């Protein structure tokens, strides 16, 4: 039987909306041809893509498995429970909530759980490597709450834990965040746990950047030290754009209530399904190899850049991320990032600790290895990349677009040898 009403015509995207379809093809080609060196980006698998583009996007599921406000949850409850069980097994936690829409709302749910307006939070300052949602002033986390910020030492580029302890004892925050967006070194969770214990604060480990490294066993885990963990799922964990909150049993109910109904409505079930898939992938032995290679690649890239006279914050890296102070190279971060993009390498300009310049045109450049490692690149390719990065920055200083084009051709060749996963 055919419908009596005009339905949404069941045409493909390219038939129905050629303009948008062409844009998608263009972006796919960009992702194939250029090399993403942004440390928070990655390529998801085809399996994750499939789950993201599934029929689960049609379903409303306010509530949690077994306690929903809508009918028809026979499958959704199983999907969400599977994601939760996989998160618990992979990270070794007692409780997981897979509903936060992204990392920032996940963090806001933590504030909603533990703080009242004007209570005190302590986190790492954004220009020092922290995240907006750790109490930075342009975020509501810095204006609705009383925020105290710590940083890194100017001489070492690393966190001074004595300074963090002194500040914490003086300011007595209720929440203490560790983790960030531009921290090239291992985060010392035991020391943070000790400081939190001394001032009776709740320690939150925001592992958004390093979740995949923790799952892969190449960065220490905060589990057992921080009662609350927050993570995005789309960075080193290589899943869909989304987030998870994990905790001890003690805080499970309160956290769940803060996410729904405290902050959110219906969960994005297609994302939940894709999170389940990425957690399954991250539990395979190959993922350990991937995580180890991400770190090896970053270390090789860092060594090669140091050998070429680049000034790296903290002198190198322990993880997937490298923060470059370009001051001695006589070029600003934005100009360098734009030149690298022209040359086929996509990075981002970034403030460096104690940056005398403004965030919109800072002194630094942030690069990382998660995405190029997903393309199968190893140490040999990192040596090539270091040479091409150096060449592109030199070309930018000389305003040589011709040289940038030559480098872009080399990158295109390299990209062709290492196809982007997930893009058929
Ligand atoms: C990326 C990130 C977030 C926020 O994630 P969004 O999904 O962009 O909101 C929060 N905290 C840290 C440490 C991050 O790196």
How many A from CA of 11 to the centre of ligand 1? 36
Q: Has 62 been annotated as catalytic?
A: yes
pLDDT value, residue 10 = 80
% the chain with pLDDT above 90: 96
> Among the atoms of ligand 1, which is closest to the Cα of residue 207?
13
What's the whole-number mean pLDDT along residues 142-168?
97
Q: Which tens digits make up the pLDDT trace of 290-331?
A: 999 999 999 999 999 999 999 999 999 999 999 999 999 999
pLDDT at res. 230: 98
Q: Which residues contact 115 (CB under 8 A, 6 or more apart)?
A: 121, 145, 174, 175
**Over residues 342-364, mean pLDDT:** 95
CB atoms within 10 A of CB 58: 8
* Per-residue pLDDT at 238: 98
| Total Cβ atoms within 10 A of residue 339 | 26
Q: How far apart are CA 372 and CA 38, in angstroms?
A: 10
Distance CA 186, CA 202 (A): 21
Mutating to test ligand 1, I would choose from 110, 124, 181, 205 the residue with most ligand atoms within 8 A of its C-beta, which is 181
Q: Which atom of ligand 1 is nearest to the CA of 130?
A: 13
Q: What is the mean pLDDT of the chain?
A: 97
Domain locations along the chain: 52-282, 293-417
230 CA distance to ligand 1 centroid (A)?
A: 9
Q: Is 235 a catalytic residue?
A: yes
Q: Each residue of 259-302: pLDDT tens digit?
A: 999 999 999 999 999 999 999 999 999 999 999 999 999 999 99
Catalytic-labelled residue, pool 52, 113, 232, 373: 232
Catalytic pick among 60, 101, 161, 354 = 60
Q: 210 C-alpha vs ligand 1 centroid, how far in Å?
A: 11
For the whole model, what pTM was predicted? 0.97
Single out the residue of 95, 92, 119, 123 nearest to residue 107, CA to CA. Answer: 123
Q: In what order do the strands lie in the sheet with 321-325?
A: 311-312, 321-325, 364-368, 348-350
Alpha carbon distance 360, 7 (integer Å): 47
What is the whole-number distance in angstroms between the Cα of residue 346 and the centre of ligand 1?
Answer: 19
Question: Ligand 1: which residues within 6 Å by Cβ?
Answer: 40, 102-104, 107, 131, 133, 179-181, 206, 208-209, 232
User: What's the pLDDT at 9?
Assistant: 67
Closest listed residue to residue 150, CA positions, set 109, 209, 201, 215? 201
* Residue 58 CB partners (closer than 8 Å, separation 6+): none
Write the CB contacts of 143 (distance below 8 Å, at least 6 apart in sequence). Answer: 137
**Residue 359 or 250, more confident:** 250
Q: Report, as an integer, the average pLDDT of 89-117.
A: 98
Given the candidates 3.40.1360.10, 1.10.3720.10, 3.40.640.10, 3.40.309.10, the CATH classification of the domain at 52-282 is 3.40.640.10
Sign, CA dihedral 380-384-390-396, equals: negative
Q: Is the pLDDT of residue 13 over 80?
A: yes
Residue 347: CB atoms within 10 A of its CB come to: 25
Helical ranges in 138-268 per DSSP H = 140-143, 161-171, 189-199, 211-215, 252-257
Q: Which atom of ligand 1 is nearest to the CA of 105?
A: 9
Closest residue CA from atom 10 of ligand 1 = 103
Q: How sure is the predictor about 359, in pLDDT bands with cuts at 50, 70 and 90?
A: confident
Catalytic, 188? Answer: no
Ligand 1 pocket test target in 133, 141, 184, 241 with most atoms within 8 Å of CB = 133
Q: Is 232 a catalytic residue?
A: yes
- The answer to whether the 52-282 and 293-417 domains have the same CATH topology is no
Q: What percent of the chain has pLDDT over 70?
A: 98
Q: Taking CA 355 as the corner, what is the angle to CA 349 and CA 360, rounded to the nearest 5 degrees?
A: 40
The pLDDT confidence band at residue 2, using thresholds 50, 70 and 90, is low
What average pLDDT does range 37-49 have in this prediction?
A: 98
SS3 assignment, position 75: helix
Can you tell me the distance from the alpha carbon of 314 to that of 331, in angstroms, rounded to the nearest whole number?
20
Vertex 348: Cα angle to 343 and 352 (nearest 5): 130
Which atom of ligand 1 is found nearest the CA of 181?
15
CATH number of 293-417: 3.90.1150.10
Give, using CA atoms, the residue closest to atom 5 of ligand 1: 103
C-alpha 207 to ligand 1 mean position (Å): 9
pLDDT value, residue 5: 73
For the question of residue 281 being annotated catalytic, the response is no
Task: Tell me what pLDDT residue 424 has.
Answer: 66
How many angstroms does the Cα of residue 275 sit away from the middle of ligand 1? 16
Packing angle of the helix pair 269-282, 74-91 (nearest 10 deg)? 40
Given a cut of 60, is residue 1 above it in pLDDT?
A: no
Q: Judge whether 287 and 239 are in contact, CB under 8 Å.
A: no
The catalytically annotated residue of 28, 62, 355, 390 is 62
Alpha-carbon span 309 to 383, nearest angstrom: 14
């Amino acid at each position: 039987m055919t419908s009596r009403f005009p339905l949404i015509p069941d045409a493909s995207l390219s038939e129905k909306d050629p303009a948008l379809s062409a844009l998608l093809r263009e972006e796919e080609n960009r992702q194939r041809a250029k090399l993403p060196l942004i440390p928070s980006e990655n390529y998801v698998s085809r399996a994750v893509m499939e789950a993201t583009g599934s029929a689960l996007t049609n379903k409303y599921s306010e509530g949690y498995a077994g306690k929903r406000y809508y009918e028809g949850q026979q499958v959704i409850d199983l999907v969400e429970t599977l994601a939760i069980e996989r998160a618990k097994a992979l990270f070794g936690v007692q409780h997981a909530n897979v509903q936060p829409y992204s990392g920032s709302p996940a963090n806001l749910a933590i504030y909603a759980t533990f703080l009242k307006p004007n209570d005190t939070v302590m986190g790492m300052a954004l220009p020092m490597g922290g995240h907006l949602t750790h109490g930075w002033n342009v975020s509501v986390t810095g204006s609705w709450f009383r925020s105290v910020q710590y940083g890194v030492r100017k001489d070492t580029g690393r966190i001074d834990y004595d300074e963090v302890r002194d500040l914490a004892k003086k300011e007595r925050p209720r929440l203490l965040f560790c983790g960030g967006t531009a921290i090239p070194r291992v985060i010392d969770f035991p020391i943070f746990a000790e400081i939190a214990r001394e001032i009776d604060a709740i320690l939150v480990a925001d592992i958004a950047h390093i979740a995949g490294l923790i799952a892969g066993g190449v960065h220490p885990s905060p589990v057992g030290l921080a009662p609350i963990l927050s993570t995005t799922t789309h960075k080193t964990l290589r899943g869909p754009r989304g987030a998870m909150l994990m905790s001890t049993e003690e805080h499970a109910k309160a956290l769940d209530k803060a996410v729904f109904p405290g902050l959110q409505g219906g969960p994005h079930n297609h994302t939940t399904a894709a999170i389940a898939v990425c957690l399954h992938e991250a539990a395979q032995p190959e993922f350990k190899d991937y995580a180890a290679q991400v770190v090896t690649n970053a270390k090789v890239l860092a060594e090669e850049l140091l050998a070429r006279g680049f000034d790296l914050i903290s002198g190198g890296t322990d993880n997937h991320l490298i923060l470059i102070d370009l001051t001695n190279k006589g070029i600003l971060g934005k100009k360098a990032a734009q030149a690298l993009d022209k040359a086929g390498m996509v990075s981002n300009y970034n403030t460096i600790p104690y940056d005398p310049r403004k965030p919109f045109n800072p002194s630094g450049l942030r690069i990382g290895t998660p995405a190029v490692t997903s393309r199968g690149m190893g140490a040999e390719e990192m040596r090539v990349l270091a040479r091409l990065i150096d060449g592109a920055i030199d070309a930018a200083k000389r305003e040589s677009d011709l040289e940038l084009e030559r480098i872009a051709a080399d990158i295109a060749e390299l990209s062709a040898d290492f196809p982007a996963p997930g893009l058929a």
